[in-house]
Chains A and B, each alone.
Chain A
């Protein structure tokens, strides 16, 4: 099983500042990597697929990068509505999620 890890567990960022979230896979997943946003009481929402492709309707402040085992989600200018938990997910070999990064306002 491919194990996903995420860091940090919690990220405090001032409004308008940049947020950088990291995700690591225990083995190469090439670019078969997605990012999801989940707000309290809501279903997950797809942000990024194929490591760097924004899903339809996702604001340009969200960007993804990386390949193989190291990935990054960047929120270029944090907005209040971006407060949420963010999960990475590999789909190279079945599916596994990371434990999540909680983004909060400083």
Chain B
């Protein structure tokens, strides 16, 4: 059974740091494109970042230079390091698996990150 379980969300001060995790079971994290997608309260979905099968990464312009996506194959876990977060980064962060190079067929339940002083 495929499962993606986010953890590590919470309250973080503007300018601080927070790392959220996505524990994966049922497949190997490095065999698929893995993305982070966020949803601000009452708003729509926004793609945040991706790590490709080869280890390359890409980011939305809104987080480039502040957020870093990574994975630990030994732990079969995906991470999002959030440095210098801003209040507008407040959102539920979902991890998602891409199939066929694009569409996201499997999602976690999400982790709420609140950026506030």
* Residues of A that sit less than 8 Å from B by CB: 1, 32, 34, 36, 38, 43-46, 49-50, 55, 85, 87, 89, 91-92, 94-100
Q: For residue A38, which residues in chain B have a CB less than 8 angstroms away from its CB?
A: 45
Q: Which 7 A-B pairs have the closest CB atoms?
A: A91-B102, A49-B103, A34-B103, A95-B47, A43-B107, A97-B45, A46-B105
* Residues of B that sit less than 8 Å from A by CB: 35, 37, 44-47, 50, 58, 60-61, 94, 96, 98-105, 107-110
CA distance A32 to B101 in the complex (A): 9
* B50 near A94: Cβ-Cβ < 8 Å: yes
Contact of A99 among B44, B60, B61, B104 (CB under 8 A): B44
B interface: dominant SS: strand
Number of A-B contacts (CB under 8 A): 63
* A49 near B107: Cβ-Cβ < 8 Å: no
A interface: dominant SS: loop
Q: Which residue of B lies closest to A98 (CB)?
A: B44
Q: For residue B35, which residues in chain A have a CB less than 8 angstroms away from its CB?
A: 95
* B108 near A97: Cβ-Cβ < 8 Å: no
Taking the closest CB of chain B, its distance from the CB of A76, in whole angstroms, is 22
CA distance A74 to B76 in the complex (A): 38
Most chain A C-beta atoms within 10 Å of own C-beta, residue among B45, B58, B96: B45
CA distance A95 to B58 in the complex (A): 10
* B100 near A49: Cβ-Cβ < 8 Å: yes
